[in-house]
Amino acid sequence: MMRGLERAGALAVEVGVPFSDPIADGPEIQRSSEWALRQGVGPAESLELVRRFRVEGKLPVVLMTYANPVLRLGVPEFAGRARAAGVDGVLITDLPPDEAPETWSALDREGLDTILLVAPTTAPERVPRLVERCRGFVYCVARTGVTGRGEGYAGSIGERVAELRRHTPLPIAIGFGISTPDKVRELKGVADALVVGAAFMRAVSEDPARGAVERVIDLAGRMREALK
């Protein structure tokens, strides 16, 4: 699937580390995490997946995780193994930049980009602190709530991206609720990238044993086409 996304023209691929309490994620990613955990998949197995992809794959890889799996493995161990596996960036969803400075330092020492979320409810005075900690790109959350199709407050995404651009020269990606080519067309030109996750999990869950890769790559291709 990662190789297929690379061929489809994705800018990067995000690999989620399965976690028992994914508080930012909706039902699709929750179910996928539960399934993966039952198969014994954790941080080590996620890093091994990236390492195998890196044998031939050149696409940048961002590891998306929560703080607890990182702490369970050990912060220096996690950072070192992530770099050795070929990870380019790390998004720790529930770790604010003001907390656990040793974690951020360990990631910096390994040269791993750190990506943070900026939400519709983020206070304006908080934005500079968040983007200051960002490396690689800034993740702009499209709406409140969890990942997937759920509704939530969105406000003006265009105004929020414009405000972020006043604080950082980094590329800005929009995520949460981007699930169809029509939604992609709505956001065309607003930011530098769009993040898709739950929609791919739905495509997999239709029949995980048959055609899952093809369905994901087909959806990715149709979304790329919507950007033209």
DSSP for 117-137, written as a single string? EE-TT--GGGHHHHHHH--S-
Note whether 178 and 142 are within 8 A (CB): yes
The residue with tokens 């309490």 is: 21
Catalytic residue among 25, 28, 88, 113: 25
Note whether 195 and 143 are within 8 A (CB): no
Q: Is 108 a catalytic residue?
A: no
Q: Quick: pLDDT tens for 50-62.
A: 999 999 999 999 9
Phi, psi (rounded to 5 degrees) for 224? -60, -40
Helix (H, G, I), strand (E, B), or coil: what is residue 51?
Answer: helix
What does the alpha-carbon distance between residue 60 and residue 50 come to, in Å, rounded to a whole number? 10
Note whether 158 and 190 are within 8 A (CB): yes
Q: Domain holding 131: CATH number?
A: 3.20.20.70
Instruction: Compute the half-sphere exposure of residue 59: CA atoms within 13 Å on the CB side of its CA.
Output: 22
Token pair listed for 128: 């500079």
Catalytic residue among 6, 14, 98, 102: 14
Domain holding 114, by residue range, is 2-226
**What is the sign of the dihedral through the CA atoms of 7, 9, 15 and 21?**
negative
Note whether 151 and 126 are within 8 A (CB): no
Domain count, the chain: 1
Give me the amino acid identity at 193: A
Question: pLDDT tens digits for the chain (228 residues)?
Answer: 999 999 999 999 999 999 998 777 778 888 889 999 999 999 999 999 999 999 999 999 999 999 999 999 999 999 999 999 999 999 999 999 999 999 999 999 999 999 999 988 899 999 999 999 999 999 999 865 666 665 654 668 888 899 999 999 999 999 988 889 999 999 999 999 999 998 999 999 899 889 999 999 999 999 999 998
Q: Is 14 a catalytic residue?
A: yes
> What pTM was estimated for this model as a whole?
0.90
